[in-house]
Structure 1
Amino acid sequence: MALFSLQTILALLTTALLFALSLIHIYWGFGGLWPGKTKQDLIDKVFGKGTQFPSPFSCFFVATGLFLFSLLPWIWMFRFELKLTQQTLNLLPYLFYIVSGIFLLRGILGYFPFLTKHWKPIFVQYTKRIYNPLCIVLGLAFLLILYWF
């Protein structure tokens, strides 16, 4: 496998994106406010409703999940070199379907008006311009990695 094949670039970009998202969740867990200026501004931009930000534990839990998801492209790409058991090899595609489904569902549902009518306008704007497309791209990336490697 060439070092800079399209598959490798896709895996690298997917991993980098998920790792960056993991770091943002860690930042929030330690009290960071970006992309907001105040706690309420952050809640409005990232969650769309409510007045209470999730606990640090919740932020770290999501960060851990995103980090583990970021490893999947490489585990799949090097599955034979890692000498995984046959049972693990058989289960890996299902894990890819689950992760892909999570991202695709999040990305698609954010376009439905029956959900967005309950959210703050700034969150709806961020959702339609950033969060939904990002989730759809990640969901499709996991499917591409699964079938392309």
Structure 2
Amino acid sequence: MRLARTIGKTLFVVLSLIALLHVYWGFGGLWPTDNVRELIDLVIGDTRFEQMPPIWMTLIVACLIAAAGWVALEKSGVTSFFPKRLISLATWCLILVFALRGLSTYAFVSGLRETSPYASQAFQRYDAILYAPLCLLIAAGFLFLATRKTR
């Protein structure tokens, strides 16, 4: 039970930080780059984009990521506001989403799928060493929570 709570809190913190980063980008922040072109190449990865997505779209993504963090708190037993069945369903959906997102990168890398001719090299590099592994770790954390009796 204690490990589940630690994993739930860790997932919450990680996902909250990612959500806050999206809010920052939504309001025009450029970190970790110096200009919009570099940011697009690094976080969107499609060289056809001329500008970042509109603020409303970025804020929706931030809210969804933050909600995933809340699901981790609920499933780990730290909080208990929502019905168990809803949280269980959300947990399995998040496992699927994060696992597919993480594994899709390695389908490209292994040659099972071709990469887009518009994919930036910066994005491909960070995707392989940071984004995809993080998604797989998040999926593993949710899988741990889903298979443990925590609430």
Question: Could you state the TM-score of these two structures normalised by the residue count of structure 1?
Answer: 0.86
Question: Counterparts of 1:25 and 1:103 in 2: how far apart (Å)?
Answer: 17
The answer as to whether partners of 1:103 and 1:138 remain within 8 angstroms in 2 is: yes
Cα gap change, 1:70 to 1:115, in 2 (>3 Å)? farther
1:101 paired to 2:100: no
Distance across 1 between alignment mates of 2:7 and 2:52: 33
Task: Give the aligned partner of residue 30 of structure 1.
Answer: 27
Cα distance in 1 for partners of 2:104, 2:31 equals 24
* 2: CA distance, partners of 1:47 / 1:83: 34
Counterparts of 2:12 and 2:64 in 1: how far apart (Å)? 13
Conserved? CA contact 1:110–1:116, under 8 Å? no
Q: In percent, how many aligned pairs have the same letter? A: 27
- The residue type equivalent to 2:66 in the other structure is F
Aligned pair count reads: 142
Residues of 2 paired with 1:6 and 1:78: CA distance?
A: 11
Q: Secondary structure at the match of 2:147?
A: helix
| Distance in 2, Cα, partners of 1:83 & 1:125 | 40
Map 1:118-133; keep pairs closer than 5 Å. 118=117, 119-133=119-133
Structure 2, unpaired ranges of 5+: none
Q: Is the 8 A contact 1:107 1:133 kept in 2?
A: yes
Whichever residue aligns with residue 35 of structure 2, its letter is T
Q: For 2:137 and 2:81, how far apart are their aligned partners in 1?
A: 30
The residue aligned with 1:141 is 141
Q: 1:28 aligns to what SS in structure 2?
A: helix
What's the CA shift for 1:142?
0.7
**C-alpha displacement at 1:83, in angstroms?**
7.2
Render the CA deviation track for 1:60-106: whole Å, top value 9, x for unaligned: 10111111111112212338x8475xxx3223222111111111111
- RMSD across aligned C-alpha pairs, in angstroms? 1.8
Q: CA deviation at 1:117?
A: 4.3
- Give the residue type in structure 1 aligned to 2:41: D
The reply on whether 1:11 has 2:1 as its aligned counterpart is no
Instruction: Extract unaligned runs of 5+ from structure 1.
Output: none
Contact 1:35 1:42 in 2 (8 A): yes
- How far apart, in 2, do the equivalents of 1:66 and 1:47 lie? 16
Structure 2-normalised TM-score? 0.85
